[in-house]
């Protein structure tokens, strides 16, 4: 009979129908059938509830002697009168579900006031007469994981409800939790306490009405010293990697539960003006976590800790976004971030990154193996790779933003060197992509699939660049040209030149301004902050931006001169390259057409004089045309119309260079080149053509308008990169203005539009040469 009444009560509570009977009646239905036996053994407090088949488990030890603990015989007798079709386990699961559901209903404003009051009366009876908190604590120790989990959720909801309604902590639960956590590792049942505390913290953070600061302080203050001691014990004093080789052991359960609690403590920190010690311990003693990550524990724990560290380094960004607080206005946050950063950079410089294996196979839908032909980036876990990279980059940002001297730039270069080695060892380019030959490209390559992380990483490197740049100018009023060249070389060699990083990213998105617009509108990235800072830099450092664009056109442009391919009897032909950028590349410059074609997937053009003109000239010009699908080089922009820019060029209806063949450099050859490559009528494109040096051939009265051609000793690259990048920014400005006029932009973009307009004026009025 009792089960049918319980089921009817469940249906009434589920739909919010007022409960017609007396509160004592419903309290008796929810009272767990867990009774204290007068003859119970004090040393055997934890027990296992009956399973579905009627069997019982064995007792387990604990130090919690104050808990109300039943015996197996008590449980069997209690359920004897129930419907035989329902087991004791199923009845108890329904009771636990009811308790949690009624707590949620009692807090809901959608439920009538009288109904909510009835629920509160039932809770008071359960707490004072049925000692429901003690019985829930008993069920926490069950070997039945589902029962233990539901008991934890129900107990957490009860403790939270009492804390919210009466502003008091449940004394029974508090005493149990403190004793269990203090007794670790002798008391191994820590996971249940950690689950419950974590759930209570999360419930408080989700509450939109509750004054979180006071409630959190009341909850966490009693645990402050105990949790720090537990942190020291589980991660250092009693840590044994042999206990964590499997993610399914009891020790693993304790560790995973503690990681969840640390994450909840981190999230709750923002609510307190002065954080408690238990909310800071992860920052101040992060070395314990770093040691675990490089130890022999199971890969799952390493991944969980790495993702937790990522949340730590992004904590300041979340705080600033929420409250607008400044970094230096929170001394404890500054201290904690510096402690974490120094610890991370210390182990990074000791090759800590190389001790972390990332060759674990990631999970695939429907199985554990990648589909044939899938590019798995060399088998590395890309999620962990990005997280580790972001931890290092943000640590560098915090360290050098807070206090940096010109001498510490070498420390930064050392850390970046370790990070670049780490990236190269774990990211293998696919057969379709080009090998990475410039350090600044790594950032977009690593983070392109995770845009929020990418802009956090880009912003970190931009802030470091700006800080170092200020240090240089503060140390010397007038910097020599050699010092400027050395500085530029270092920024490229360490992979943090902001102009180079931005241009590589634009290449990756095919110069599509709508992608940038999506980032600006999204609240999930810091792209707005990054873009504003970058545009301010661009406004005062335009010439550096132009130089980098020229390097792109030279290095990744349509045609390049290769001196080593000429026969021995020919004169040497110089190649326009920038020495500083050449040295910054992480791969040596290719010396032959064969090696270049093999590593960059190039198609080779060889233009030679006809036999009948051999007397006039015996010089041949070697031109190289890129066919790489990964980089949008100059010729590719004329052939593969992947972006809106290319589509506009195509709309003129003119033919483009689509075939590869030997090209004789005589009048007929010039005519063919002109007809196939240079027939665009776009005004901006004509402007670009007028800035390049046309090909002059001996004995010829016409000049080719091919935009990047070898000319008896040098190459003048086209201004493809600066054209496409500035056009992308112009399109972004027009799109933002259009949305603003229609009141569709989510915030006031006036300052951003002012910067974009200024950049547009510079690009049109200032001669980039």
DSSP 603: E
Residue 433's pLDDT is 61
At 594 the pLDDT is: 32
70 or 494: which leads in pLDDT: 494
Task: Average the pLDDT over each of 157-161, 426-430, 547-551, 713-717 and give the range with the smallest value.
Answer: 713-717
Alpha-carbon gap, residue 533 to 459, rounded angstroms: 9
Longest dimension (CA), the chain: 118
Mean pLDDT computed over 299-320: 86
DSSP conformation class of 405: -
Distance from C-alpha of 730 to C-alpha of 720, rounded to nearest angstrom: 15
Residue 349 above 60 pLDDT? yes
pLDDT at position 571 is: 37
* pLDDT greater than 70 at residue 171: yes
What mean pLDDT comes out for the span 269-275?
Answer: 89
- Residue 468: pLDDT above 60? yes
Model pLDDT, residue 222: 96
| CA–CA dist 354, 352 (Å, integer) | 5
426, with CB counted inside 10 A (0-12, 13-18, 19+), is: buried
Assign 670 a pLDDT band (cuts: 50, 70, 90).
very low
Higher model confidence: residue 113 or residue 369?
113
Q: What local confidence, expressed as pLDDT, does residue 483 receive? A: 85
Burial (CB < 10 A; 0-12, 13-18, 19+), residue 695, is buried
Residue 1: predicted pLDDT: 56
User: Where is average pLDDT lowest: 1-15, 83-97, 120-134, 276-290?
Assistant: 83-97
Return the residue matching tokens 């580790």.
388
Q: Would you place residue 476 in the very low, low, confident or very high pLDDT band (cuts 50, 70, 90)?
A: confident
Say how many C-beta atoms besides its own lie within 10 A of residue 43's C-beta. 10
- According to the model, what pLDDT value does residue 639 have? 32
Q: What was the pLDDT predicted at 130?
A: 83
Would you say 477 and 425 are in contact if contact means Cβ atoms under 8 Å apart?
no
pLDDT per residue as tens digits for the range 378-406: 467 889 999 999 999 999 999 988 876 76
User: How does residue 2 score in pLDDT terms, banded at 50, 70 and 90?
Assistant: confident
Task: State pLDDT tens for residues 532-568.
Answer: 999 999 999 999 999 999 988 887 553 333 223 333 3
3-state SS, 569-580, equals: CCCCCCCCCCHH
CA distance 189 to 210: 31
pLDDT of residue 485: 87
From its phi and psi, is residue 510 left (phi > 0), alpha (psi between -120 and 50) or beta?
Answer: left
The pLDDT-based confidence of 317 (bands split at 50, 70, 90) is low
Instruction: Give the residue-averaged pLDDT of 426-449.
Output: 79
pLDDT: which is higher, 242 or 196: 196
Residue 485: which residues within 8 A CB-CB, separation 6 or more? Answer: 580
CA 349 to chain centroid, in Å, comes to 22
pLDDT reported for residue 664: 38
Is the pLDDT confidence value at 253 over 50? yes
- The answer for residues whose C-beta is within 8 angstroms of residue 29's C-beta and 6 or more apart is 2, 5, 6, 9, 95
pLDDT of residue 329: 59
Tokens read off for 119: 């629920």
Q: Tell me: pLDDT of 616 over 80.
A: no
Total residues belonging to the chain: 769
Q: Is the pLDDT of residue 690 over 50?
A: no
| Average pLDDT of the segment spanning 191-215 | 91
Quick: pLDDT tens for 182-195: 999 888 779 999 99
Distance CA 622, CA 194 (A): 70
Query: Which residue in 191, 70, 50, 63 sits closest to 138, CA to CA?
Result: 70
Percent of the chain with pLDDT over 70: 65
Q: What is the DSSP string of 258-281?
A: HHHHHHHHHHHGGG-SS--HHHHH
Q: What angle do CA 742, 745, 746 make, to 5 degrees?
A: 140
pLDDT of residue 372: 53
What's the start-to-end Cα distance of the chain, in Å?
Answer: 92
More confident residue, 608 or 263: 263
Q: Among 66-70, 397-401, 735-739, which is the least confidently predicted range?
A: 66-70
- Taking a C-beta distance cutoff of 8 angstroms, is the pair 386, 446 a contact? yes
Element (H, E) at 416: helix 409-426
Of the ranges 32-46, 183-197, 513-527, which one carries the lowest mean pLDDT score?
Answer: 32-46
Q: Are 560 and 715 in contact (CB under 8 A)?
A: yes
Q: Is the dihedral of CA 69, 75, 81, 84 positive or negative?
A: positive
Query: Rounded mean pLDDT of 301-319?
Result: 87
Whether the pLDDT of residue 673 is over 60: the answer is: no
What is the average pLDDT across 424-441? Answer: 75
What mean pLDDT do residues 567-582 have? 38
Confidence of residue 477 (pLDDT cuts 50, 70, 90): confident
Alpha-carbon distance values, 508 to 236, 501, 537 (Å) = 44, 11, 22
Using CA atoms, how far residue 637 sits from 341, 410, 661, 701, in Å, is 42, 39, 19, 30
pLDDT beyond 80 at 244: yes
The pLDDT of 294-319, averaged and rounded, is 88
Q: What is the mean pLDDT of the chain?
A: 74
Q: Which pLDDT value is given to residue 37? A: 44
Q: Report the range of poorest mean pLDDT among 24-33, 82-91, 143-152, 298-307.
A: 82-91
Of the candidate ranges 10-24, 325-339, 346-360, 595-609, the one whose mean pLDDT is the lowest: 595-609
Say what the pLDDT of residue 411 is. Answer: 86
pLDDT-derived band at 605, boundaries 50, 70, 90: very low
pLDDT band per the 50, 70, 90 thresholds, residue 237: confident
Which pLDDT tens digit goes with each residue over 619-647? 333 333 333 333 333 333 333 333 333 33
Mean pLDDT to the nearest integer, 514-526: 92
Lowest mean pLDDT among 158-167, 413-422, 528-537, 578-587: 578-587
User: C-alpha angle 249/250/253, rounded to 5°?
Assistant: 90
Instruction: Assign 35 a pLDDT band (cuts: 50, 70, 90).
Output: low
């Amino acid at each position: 009979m009792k089960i049918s009444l319980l089921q009817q009560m469940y249906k009434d509570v589920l739909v919010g129908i007022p409960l017609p009977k007396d509160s004592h009646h419903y309290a008796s239905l929810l009272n767990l059938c867990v009774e204290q036996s007068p003859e119970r053994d004090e040393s055997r407090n934890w027990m296992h509830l009956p399973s579905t088949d009627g069997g019982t488990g064995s007792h387990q030890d604990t130090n919690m002697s104050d808990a109300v603990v039943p015996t197996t015989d008590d449980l069997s007798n209690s359920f004897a009168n129930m419907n035989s079709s329902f087991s004791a386990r199923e009845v108890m699961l329904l009771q636990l579900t009811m308790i949690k559901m009624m707590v949620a209903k009692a807090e809901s404003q959608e439920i009538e006031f009288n109904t909510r009051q009835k629920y509160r009366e039932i809770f008071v009876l359960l707490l004072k007469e049925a000692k429901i908190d003690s019985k829930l604590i008993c069920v926490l120790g069950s070997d039945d994981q589902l029962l233990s989990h539901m008991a934890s959720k129900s107990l957490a909801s009860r403790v939270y409800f009492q804390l919210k309604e009466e502003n008091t902590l449940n004394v029974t639960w508090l005493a149990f939790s403190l004793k269990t956590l203090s007794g670790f590792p002798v008391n191994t049942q820590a996971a249940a306490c950690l689950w419950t505390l974590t759930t209570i913290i999360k419930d408080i953070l989700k509450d939109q009405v509750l004054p979180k600061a006071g409630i959190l302080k009341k909850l966490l203050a009693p645990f402050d010293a105990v949790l720090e001691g537990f942190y020291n014990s589980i991660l250092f004093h009693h840590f044994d990697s042999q206990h964590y080789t499997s993610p399914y052991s009891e020790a693993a359960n304790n560790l995973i539960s503690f990681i969840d609690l640390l994450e909840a403590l981190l999230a709750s920190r923002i609510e307190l003006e002065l954080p408690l010690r238990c909310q800071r311990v992860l920052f101040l003693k992060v070395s314990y976590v770093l040691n675990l990550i490089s130890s022999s524990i199971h890969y799952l724990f390493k991944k969980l800790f790495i993702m937790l560290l990522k949340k730590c380094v992004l904590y300041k960004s979340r705080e600033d976004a929420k409250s607008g607080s400044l970094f230096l206005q929170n001394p404890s946050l500054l201290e904690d971030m510096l402690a974490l950063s120094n610890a991370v950079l210390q182990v990074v410089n000791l090759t800590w990154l190389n001790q972390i294996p990332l060759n674990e196979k990631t999970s695939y839908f429907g199985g554990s193996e990648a589909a044939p032909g899938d590019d798995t980036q060399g088998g590395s876990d890309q999620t962990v790779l990005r997280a580790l990279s972001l931890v290092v980059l943000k640590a560098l940002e915090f360290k050098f933003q807070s206090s940096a001297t010109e001498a510490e730039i070498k420390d930064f270069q050392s850390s970046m060197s370790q990070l670049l080695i780490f990236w190269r060892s774990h990211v293998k380019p696919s057969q379709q992509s080009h090998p990475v030959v410039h350090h600044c490209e790594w950032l977009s390559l690593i983070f392109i699939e995770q845009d929020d992380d990418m802009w956090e990483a880009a912003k970190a490197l931009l802030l470091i660049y700006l800080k170092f740049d200020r240090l240089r100018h503060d140390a010397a009023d007038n910097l020599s040209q050699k010092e400027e060249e050395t500085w530029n070389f270092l920024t490229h060699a360490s992979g943090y030149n902001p102009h180079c990083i931005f241009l590589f990213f634009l290449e990756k998105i095919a110069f599509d301004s709508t992608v940038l617009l999506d980032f600006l509108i999204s609240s999930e990235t810091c792209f707005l902050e990054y873009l504003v800072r970058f545009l301010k830099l661009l406004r005062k450092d335009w010439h550096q931006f132009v130089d980098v664009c020229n390097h792109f056109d030279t290095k990744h442009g349509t045609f390049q001169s290769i001196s080593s391919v000429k026969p021995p009897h020919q004169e040497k032909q110089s190649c326009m390259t920038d020495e500083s950028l050449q040295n910054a590349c992480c791969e040596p410059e290719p010396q032959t057409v064969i090696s270049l074609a093999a590593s960059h997937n190039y198609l080779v053009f060889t233009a030679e004089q006809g036999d009948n003109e051999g007397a006039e000239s015996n010089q041949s010009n070697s031109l190289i045309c890129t066919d790489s699908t990964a980089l949008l080089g100059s010729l590719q922009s004329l052939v593969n119309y992947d972006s809106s820019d290319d589509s506009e060029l195509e709309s003129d209806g003119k033919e483009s260079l689509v075939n590869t063949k030997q090209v004789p450099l005589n009048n007929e050859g010039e005519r063919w080149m002109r007809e196939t490559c240079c027939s665009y009528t776009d005004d901006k494109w004509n402007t670009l053509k007028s800035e390049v040096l046309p090909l002059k051939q001996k004995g010829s009265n016409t000049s080719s308008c091919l935009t990047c051609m070898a000319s008896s000793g040098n190459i003048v690259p086209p201004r493809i990169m600066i054209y496409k990048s500035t056009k992308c920014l112009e399109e972004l400005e027009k799109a933002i203005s259009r949305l603003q006029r229609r009141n569709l932009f989510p915030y006031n973009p006036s300052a951003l539009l002012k910067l974009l307009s200024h950049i547009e004026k510079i690009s049109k009025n200032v001669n980039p040469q």
